[in-house]
Structure 1
Amino acid sequence: MPRNPRNQMYPANEDLPAAGRGSLPARLWRIRAELLLTAALGLLTFTFLSAAQHGHWMPFIVLTSAISVPAATRAGRNWVTAHIWCVVSRHRLQRTCLETTMHTRSGRIPLVLWITPTRTGEKALILTRAGISAAEFEAYAEEIAAACWARTVNVYKHRAWAHLVVVEIVRRDEIPGAVSPGLDRFYGRRAWISMRPDVEEPPDLLTLPELSRKLALPRVG
């Protein structure tokens, strides 16, 4: 895909502040998974020390069983692996914004509101900052795919709210089976428009008359 001026939106000689700035809540939200993991490890350590001190091992056994039993199953391991990839992709997305011009002149980067696993990779819901749009994410699609070690990246914008962007990271062929419902369940697929004009909407997004016209099906009755 030919590059466009959005890839060089700032003059080369302009002295911009360091990217990555933001409010404290935004910075905490970016590392929410790490904070939750740290809290879980702290709870496990506290339970172990309490059990060792007072001899009450049942709470520690119950807590470790709740963690180890799901990890011993294939579905549990797949769930853990899928969500680890979500954390990795979130950090790689943020790093791409820092290393490119996908940040404001004040150094603020888009906020990854949510990221969930899909059958082909991950899907991230992103809140853009003032001065950044879905078109810029599409312009940097190749950089995002390379940063996330993926095959390709699909970018979608919301039909009503242009500040909401979905970045779909495709890293493998579709894997059958149950996975997290992800954004499709919470936001629906009808609300998003592909940034690539050559990509058609999936058939399940079309009404029956539209589908009949596309397939040139004869009318019944």
Structure 2
Amino acid sequence: MSNLDWPRGWDRTPESERERNRSFEATLARTTEDLATELDRMGVDHWRASTGNGHTKSNGLPLHNANPDDPGFVLRWSDDGEEFAVACDAYSRLRDNVRTVYKWVHETRMRGNRPVETGDSEFAAARLPPGDADEDVIVAGSATSKPAHEVLGVDAYAADSEVVDAYHERVKEAHPDHGGSEEELYRVRDAKEEMLGGDDA
């Protein structure tokens, strides 16, 4: 049985669709060190990781030789009373999913160092809803974010089958391996859920 604490309401990547990432050279041990350092730099109140492996460090990060059946990885943290989470299971190896989360956190933190004003924090996409941690997870967006049908490129009253087809096409484009970003990928997944009323597809 997997110990992975995957955020409720977030889609999982089917095992058959998980890819092998050949672009990361860092080991799992180096990746977990990098991630821990990044979180120290962020100065968050508390953080913990979750994997499908029962043998982890005290902070939930996997041991250097971890190879769980479920390669998914979840990172949760709290800062100034708000809860955040990011997760990845797009790859067939745990190391690649942890590295992808590390890169997203690092790149997002670095954007916060730029002298650019935005309507919300750089980590707004990872913010969990207030209250009970068991509530359905939503990804916060700004008031100026595109409506769900525009994100998917369909009519506002499109049939469910059309929404699902558009979602599958947009996920391919939004994936970081194809020039997209983790943030864009989450926006596409959220748009599908919104248009289908939260149904899995």
TM-score scaled by structure 2? 0.27
Greater CA radius of gyration, 1 or 2?
Answer: 1
Of Structure 1 and Structure 2, the greater helix share is in 1
Of Structure 1 and Structure 2, the greater strand share is in 1
TM-score scaled by structure 1? 0.26
